[in-house]
Amino acid sequence: MYDYLREYFDFKALLICLALVILGLVSVYSATFDVGAAAAFKKQIVWAAIGLLALFVTAFFPIKTLQRVAIPLYALNLLLLLVVLVIGERVSGSKSWFGLGGAGGTASFGGQPSEFAKVATVLALSAFLARSSVSLSNVKHLLTAFAIVGVPMLLILAQPDLGTSVVFFAMLLPVLYWAGSSNFVLAAIIAPIIAAAGALFGTVIFLFSLIVSGSLLYLARRNQFALAVAFGLTLAVGLSVQAVYERMPAYQQKRISTFMNPSSDQKGAGYNVYQSKVAIGSGGFFGKGYLQGTQTQLNFIPEQWTDFIFCVPGEEFGFVGASLVIGLFAGLLLHGINVAGLSKNKFASAAAIGITGIFGFHALVNIGMSMGLLPVIGIPLPFLSYGGSALVANMAMVGLLMNFYANRKEH
């Protein structure tokens, strides 16, 4: 029995997941117990229990059956994303919430279909790419892969929820790479992002970003026509940034401008980031002690238990606590890549790398924005941030990694 468990049960993924969830509960309690939001901690415990159940369900669900139901599950999630646009509750400016028993937020139980749509989309994309008839060198198949990710992404943008929608794009790149997409296709996806980012920083940086993008496309080119089309698209995206920026909601414009000039509005849009940097920096090496963080306990960061939860271990446990969180995420990501490499089943391998990409993007962006290194786009820290839907979906994805590890030798 022991040999069987050692061979097929993924203790590493389970232990990392439980460690992060426990750190999350400890942090949520610290951030909420003295600011009139203790109900959030109690509900997070309930969601953690539900998430643990979801983890074991997905860990032992037959892979072949999972592959067969991936597309219907994806279609169901698209339906939910459509329905939430009609009857969903508006929370923090986004109509993305099915509320149960009252308004959303910490006052009631509810759910965000966009969190579960991440799981459904990565499974559907992997199931499609695993078909023997599918080849990414076929333009029709490549466009289908883009559509699988693009449809839920657009529906979530309509809520509007920019942060969550970007996660779908971040999921696509590693899966396409892992499935054998050409270097030119990957370069054609990355180049417009470089140009768009450069356009935010003025003409000189934009021109430099075009040179970098063009060089990347040239090195990976298939032919001159494809190169011209890809560069034309890159140029168009870069030139359209200003128009898109002007159509953004005012709060999103403020977040971007504050990121570019952090000291411009420390009492307004840049307030949370400024206080977050103060909290993390004041923690020192060993921290101020549990429940002793002044920034946390005096509620300098509003609703810190959501997107800025990283500040709690950073302030109360210092460099050691912050490093522990980052180390656990690094361990989970490396393990996810390892599972993808070990899996002989194409569906499982692609899904494992997609899940790893989701976790990696969330952790990178959330920690980056907490430290003022990246713009604030409303992305929670997996397992730590308050939120039932996200916690259950993330734990279910860990269960999938455990499933893929246990069945890694099956084709």
- Cβ contact 377:166 at 8 Å: yes
Order of strands, sheet of 94-100, starting from the edge strand that comes earlier in the sequence: 89-91, 94-100, 109-111
Mean pLDDT in order along the chain per 10 residues (411 residues) = 75 96 93 77 94 96 95 95 84 68 46 91 96 89 94 88 86 92 90 87 88 91 87 91 76 67 59 82 88 75 82 92 96 97 95 97 93 84 92 97 93 79
CB 214 within 8 A of CB 195: no
Q: What is the pTM of this model?
A: 0.90
The number of angstroms, rounded, from the C-alpha of 27 to the middle of its chain's C-alpha atoms is 20
Report which DSSP code applies to 264. G
DSSP H helices, 343-374, are 346-370
Nearest to 362 by CA among 325, 317, 402, 313: 325
d(CA 70, CA 29): 36
Distance of CA 221 to the CA centre of its chain: 30
Q: What burial class does residue 133 get, using C-beta atoms within 10 Å of its C-beta: 0-12 exposed, 13-18 middle, 19+ buried?
A: exposed
Instruction: Report the first-to-last Cα separation within the chain, whole angstroms.
Output: 24
* φ, ψ for residue 386, nearest 5 deg: -65, 140
Indicate the angle between helix axes 346-370 and 271-282, nearest 10 degrees: 90
The pLDDT value recorded for residue 61 is: 95
| Distance from C-alpha of 142 to C-alpha of 125, rounded to nearest angstrom | 11
Q: What is the pLDDT of residues 85-109, one digit of tens each?
A: 888 777 666 667 776 544 444 444 5
How many CB atoms within 10 Å of residue 295?
25
pLDDT of residue 178: 93
d(CA 339, CA 8): 12
Predicted confidence at residue 107, as pLDDT, reads: 42
Residue located via tokens 């979801």: 54
The tokens describing 83, both together, are: 């329905």
Cis peptide bond N-terminal to 160, omega within 30:
yes
Cα–Cα distance measured from residue 77 to residue 156, given in angstroms and rounded to the nearest whole number: 11
Contact in structure between 164 and 156 (CB atoms under 8 Å): yes
- Phi, psi values for residue 90, rounded to 5°: -90, 120
CB 301 within 8 A of CB 272: yes
Query: Which tokens in the block code for residue 352?
Result: 């494992």
404, two tokens: 């893929």
pLDDT, position 92: 63
